[in-house]
A = this chain, B = another copy of it.
Amino acid sequence: MKEVRFFYVPDVKNSTELPAEEMVHAVRVLRMKQGDELFLMDGAGYFYRAQVAMTSAKHCFYTIKEALYQKKSWRGHIHLAIAPTKDIGRIEWLAEKVTEIGIDEITFLNCRFSERKQLRIDRIEKIIISAMKQSRKGWKPIVNEMTSFGDFIRRVSATTSSNKKPSINKFICHCYEEIKKKDLFSLLTKRNALERDVLILIGPEGDFSIEEVDLALSNGFQSVTLGDSRLRTETAGLSAVAMAQLTNRERNNIFIDIKDEEGGV
């Protein structure tokens, strides 16, 4: 079984060689040689069947043979904004899983009760790119730098109100019993077919502050629960994305499945 090799080359159209990091992997780790087949992904819907044209210690040039377009398998824009967990492994795990399941954008929130105030976005990017390759996702999720809760809400509010098209469904998940909550999955199932863009906020281990919840509610977010289970932050994030996916799926999608080839032993 000869494994198919994927490389992330965002600027594939304007380049003829792999970016430094992918080059190292191709040349030094996989020891790819002239004539070897590889697949390039631009993260914007295209896969390219390509061939190694020339390698050196610091370069790996390619020739494109064929372009393959992958239609996104869900409708709308799924955006998760979440406070990263104290344990970095848990949030990295989440980044991998939501990429596999399918997401368009992730924002990390700095909240009043956040236990983690900093995050290395470059590490998250690497995990996401690896998960994209593994799960053959043609579309790279946007990953935003950590932002304060207040700034994020105000920015979202300004954007959605300025374009006169408030078709985005905005939700905040929290555990305050005194604030009425609707069931997220029911709302997602019942919503208007034209309103497919979803933004879901998930708080830190100690929840959002009540002031944060109030700020979100006064900016058009809906107060929701994910159900009866008491979930960890990263499990809540994953459940919310799974619900958005299940209710936004395109059925009978034409799907590019690049097979591992037979060969060797």
Contacts and interface: CB of A to CB of B under 8 A. Distances in A.
User: Most B CB atoms within 10 A — which of A135, A227, A246?
Assistant: A227
A101 B239 contact: yes
User: Most B CB atoms within 10 A — which of A93, A97, A137?
Assistant: A97
A42 interface: no
Contacts of A183: 251
A230 B6 CA distance: 15
A262 interface: no
A250 to B, nearest CB: 8
A100 interface: yes
A41 to B, nearest CB: 13
Interface in A58-104: 73, 93, 97, 100-102
Contact of A135 (B231, B238, B250, B255): B231
Nearest to A243: B246
A134 B232 contact: yes
Interface residues of A, number: 31
A229 B101 contact: yes
A251 B97 CA distance: 27
Interface of A: 73, 93, 97, 100-102, 134-137, 183, 185, 227-232, 235, 238-239, 242-243, 245-246, 249-251, 253, 255, 257
Contacts of A227: 73, 245, 249
A243 B247 CA distance: 11
B229 A73 contact: yes
Given A100-B229, A228-B253, 5 more contacts: A73-B227, A73-B229, A93-B93, A101-B229, A183-B251
A97 B246 contact: no
User: Most B CB atoms within 10 A — which of A137, A228, A235, A253?
Assistant: A228
Contact of A229 (B102, B235, B243): B102
